A and B are shown apart, each in its own frame.
Chain A
Amino acid sequence: MAAPVYRTGLSPRFRALAFRLLLLLAGCLQGGPVAAGWWGGGDQALPRVQVAEPYTEWRTGPASGYPVVRVSERGEWLQLVMRKTGWLKVRDEQGREGWVAMADIGRTLDARGQPVELGAIEFDDFSLRQWETGLMAGAFEGAAVISVYGGYWMTENLALELSGSQVLGEVSEILMVNGSIVHQPFPRWRLSPFFTLGIGQVFTFPKATLAEPENRDNTAAHAGFGLRLYVSDRYFVRAEVKDYKVFTNRKTNEEATEWKVGLSVFF
């Protein structure tokens, strides 16, 4: 007699997905410092700082809107448990926990009595950024465009960028991948202009309702101009206009103008 086969109720596809999710979770739990305090526990070898100012304020949450619930006096030792944006969760010697602004931790001393080199992200960090990434939206020849990009600064003035865009037009959908070189003449300006030059690939998918839908794949070159405006913390606003020349195998090349505005983060 054959052994009975039980249904688990989960399809193999779902089980594979669940397994992958579990793996991801396990990865998060193991991941070095990430593991500490995942469920509020795990405090081995947390970095410690000593309050050097007359006092340091604790809040109940990682934002300036949360109320101040405690102060640490000069000389008290605090463990740094975790960070959320510009706030650090601290634990004192009695095991009490609260949130202290990163800028305040920047005025404490470490175990060797040296000032702690932590602080709020400021404009100087923006000028010295190495990586940036952002999301932008705008119009490409009148059609809506959504774009994601990433860039690496080789020098203060020169960066390499890679972007992917989706254009959602009335008659076609266009996917674009572009590589460009970006030059900013004034890296220390809060409102900093830049110039960009690059090439890419344009994939056009006409809508199925058209008479002769034919997918096209063309190379395009572009030149553009834009502005970055540093706002605060790790982010800035970016706006740009690009002029594309799409090389077709027809008699004439096509031209397209695109403008976009978006928000970017730097590291």
Chain B
Amino acid sequence: MESWTKRIFLNLSRAGLALALLIAMATPVAAQEAAPSLIEPDVEPQTISETLISSGDFEAGAFVGLMTIEDFESSLVWSGRLAYHLSESFFLEANVGVAEGGETSFEKLAGDVELLPGNDRKYLYYDFNLGFNILPGEAFVGSDYAFNSNFYLLAGAGATDFAGDLRFTGNYGVGYQMLLTDRLSLHLRVRQHLHRIDVTGTDKTVVNTEMGTGVSVFF
């Protein structure tokens, strides 16, 4: 009885082996060649190009600060900044900002006079600058943290829309940037905006100082 069952199992296993052999022979040659590799790479090795590496040459930021508008008090100023880093030292940036002119001392003293209609007091500017990272460095916070930083110089040109007119405006300034991560940074910035204006009776060059702080992300 035992030998019968043994024989049946033996025959069955022989048949199985034959079947397996048949299948193996029937499979295409290519599939057989791929099988022996013991370590399979996670990813196909590919040529390394710049497109595979995420970059951070562009920087977008939002700033808030104080702007003194000559003859028209000082105002809160909001601005947006887009920068493109040309090299480790140079960058190009575009800024757009908005502030609001206050009252001249003449208007305050004379009482019921308005030098400008309300909507002409809106101060709007744009400019393009060349920036230069003059002092790259590190800032140390406590004993555990070090953040990369930059001290940079700015100069450029743009236009200011204020007191009913659009005027060519030059600007220059300095900034300090602290990189919290490779993609996130904090700025402190002071800029001087220069333009001609004749609203207060004489045609003169005014220097408006903008001082602000901002956050930017690299992408």
Contact = CB atoms under 8 A, between A and B. Distances in A.
> Are A and B associated in one complex?
yes
B68 interface: no
Contacts of B146: 60
Interface string B61-99: 000000000000000000000001111111010000000
Contacts of A191: none
Interface of A: 28, 31-40, 45, 47, 49, 60-66, 80-89, 110-112, 114, 116-118, 135, 137, 143-144, 146, 148, 166, 168, 173, 207-208, 232-235, 263, 265
A168 B48 contact: no
B158 A146 contact: yes
A166 B158 CA distance: 9
B167 interface: yes
A45 B41 CA distance: 12
Interface of B: 41-43, 45-57, 84-90, 92, 128, 130, 133, 135-138, 146, 148, 157-159, 164-168, 181-183, 217-219
Contacts of A88: 53
B85 A85 contact: yes
Contact of B88 (A87, A148, A168, A207): A87
B92 A135 contact: yes
A38 B87 contact: no
Nearest to B196: A170
23 contacts: A33-B53, A34-B219, A37-B182, A39-B183, A40-B182, A47-B46, A47-B48, A47-B52, A60-B138, A62-B148, A82-B55, A83-B53, A85-B57, A85-B87, A85-B88, A89-B182, A118-B48, A146-B157, A168-B167, A173-B166, A208-B165, A234-B86, A263-B130
Given A85-B87, A111-B45, A66 B57 contact: no
A112 B54 CA distance: 22
Contacts of A49: 48
Please list the 10 inter-chain residue pairs (A to B) with the smallest Cβ-Cβ separation, ordered nearest first.
A111-B45, A144-B168, A63-B88, A33-B54, A168-B168, A233-B87, A61-B148, A65-B136, A63-B136, A83-B55
Contacts of B158: 146
A110 to B, nearest CB: 5
Nearest to A169: B168
Given A38-B183, A235-B87, A207 B165 contact: yes
A223 to B, nearest CB: 25
Contact of A85 (B41, B86, B130, B167): B86
A101 to B, nearest CB: 9
A24 B51 CA distance: 21
Contacts of A82: 53-56, 182
